[in-house]
Amino acid sequence: MPTAPASPPRPPGAPAAPLWPASTLEAPGGGLAVGGVPLAELADRFGTPVYVLDEDEVRARARAWRDALPGADVAYAGKAFLCRAVIRWVEEEGLSLDVCSAGELELAVHSGFPAERIVLHGNAKSPGDVRAALRLGVGRIVIDGTGEIARLAALVPPGARQRVLLRVVPGVTAGAHAAVRTGMDGQKFGLSVAGGEAEEAVERLLGQPRLELVGLHCHLGSQIAGLGPYVSAVRRLVPLLARIRDRHGVTFPELDLGGGFAIAYREGDPAVDPRTYAERVTGELARECARFGLALPRLTVEPGRWIAGPAGVALYRVLSVKPTGGRTFVAVDGGMSDNPRPALYGVRYTVRLAGRSSAAPGRTVTVVGRHCEAGDVLADDVELPADLRPGDVLAVPASGAYHLSMASAYNLVGRPPVAAVSGGRARLLVRRETLADLRSRDVGE
């Protein structure tokens, strides 16, 4: 399993963030409650593993970005986690939506989300993705490479124009792990500013009568805790906008700086504050535009993890406690099939006993999953009560993003359900994937 630092350094302007939803309290009789519902009760009602999503927390975090950037377009990044309820929540909070496939797009539109407020992007859009976007009328399609330009233009109906953004690579290194750094040259996304490919693509796009290039797009990476990378991106993109104006006489009205905003996974981890982001990044954008005599473009940001991640709590039930080889392993009924991130990126989590109180002293354990992989480790070197036993319920905070959306059916273990909590009530949003579901896909010998 890849290693990760104990805790990322906290950059200036990146305060420590809460790990749990704001509604988290001690439950009557012990344990924890979220949204007014005891987690032990949720584990009994919906089974484990189960994801608990605090609706009020999702809405509050969506509003935090909308309020911090009232003149901007805030697009929830659906790849973090998407279901019909979340689509409705972010639409009601006034956000746009960012999707990466025809599947995410069709779910959104069929759930009533306005297509004109949807952005579709991806480095390898299939013909089906593009046809769905054109058929449903998405507001923006992000062009990721020069090869997409003619293919997309050929699919736009005669007499119509599709608004597009061009994804560029500003050459900024940012992100918590090499696998999620997308703002630098040498990775699969976008077109290089330094290498000239971005300006070449702009020229091609401006020559396509069925495509309307309305701005630039970039995304620097994931789990970015400081604001310096975003400021650097602005300082590299505004001069590009000025060169395009001087060469082609075109001033773009939009600039999408993507997302990647860090959240806390363990105590003391830093996180981005929307208001601080607004002050520093929009301030820098205004200064750079004034320096080059450019009209200020409308800014778009794409928070996904920041909105959904801290609103989610994953619940597991302990299956065994096994001391061996000088270590104690606590095995639970989930693992890398419902949360592959520790195995992929070496992410480290907080774990807490959630179903009861304990006065026992703590001991250091490794929480592992049920799958046939030595790398199936959910949390390494965490402290849990020494009287932990099979049947106990454990809770993992900051589990609302990139867990279920990245889940698999490894070992033919079905994906967990999602339950929403609010005001002391719980309801099922996504049902558990059953063995019958898995068998139904196997259609013959």
Is the separation of the CB atoms in 308 and 292 below 8 Å? no
> Is 372 a known active-site residue?
yes
Candidates 83, 100, 289, 372; catalytic one? 372
- Both tokens of 239, joined, read 């001069």
Contact 218, 258 (CB under 8 A): yes
User: CB–CB of 235/284 below 8 Å?
Assistant: yes
Q: Which of 316, 321, 318 is nearest to 363 (CA)?
A: 321
CB 83 within 8 A of CB 418: yes
d(CA 155, CA 162): 10
Neighbours of 300 (CB within 10 A): 23
**Which residue(s) pair with 192 in the sheet?**
169
Q: 41: how many CB neighbours lie within 10 A of its CB?
A: 15
Reduced 3-state DSSP string for 9-75: CCCCCCCECCCCCCCCEECCCCCEEECCEEHHHHHHHHCCCEEEEEHHHHHHHHHHHHHHCCCCEEE
Cβ atoms < 10 Å from Cβ of 287: 12
Other Cβ atoms less than 10 A from the Cβ of 131: the count is: 13
Helices and strands in the chain: count of H runs, count of E runs: 13, 21
| 87 touches 108 (CB < 8 A) | yes
Strand 162-169 and strand 211-217: the pairing is parallel
Residue 242 near residue 281 (C-beta atoms within 8 A): no
Query: What distance in Å separates the CA atoms of residue 326 and residue 91, rounded to the nearest whole number?
Result: 51
Q: Which residues lie across from 75 on neighbouring strands? A: 96
197-206 and 146-155 helices, crossing angle to 10°: 20
- Name the CA radius of gyration of the chain, rounded: 23
How far from the centroid of its chain's Cα atoms is residue 14's Cα? Answer: 19
What is residue 233's three-state secondary structure?
helix
Beta strands in 302-442, from DSSP E residues, in sequence order = 312-324, 327-332, 352-353, 362-368, 377-385, 393-396, 418-422, 425-430
Distance between CA 239 and CA 168 in Å, rounded? 13
Q: In the chain, what is the greatest distance between 2 CA atoms, to the nearest angstrom? A: 72
Which active-site residues does the annotation give? 372
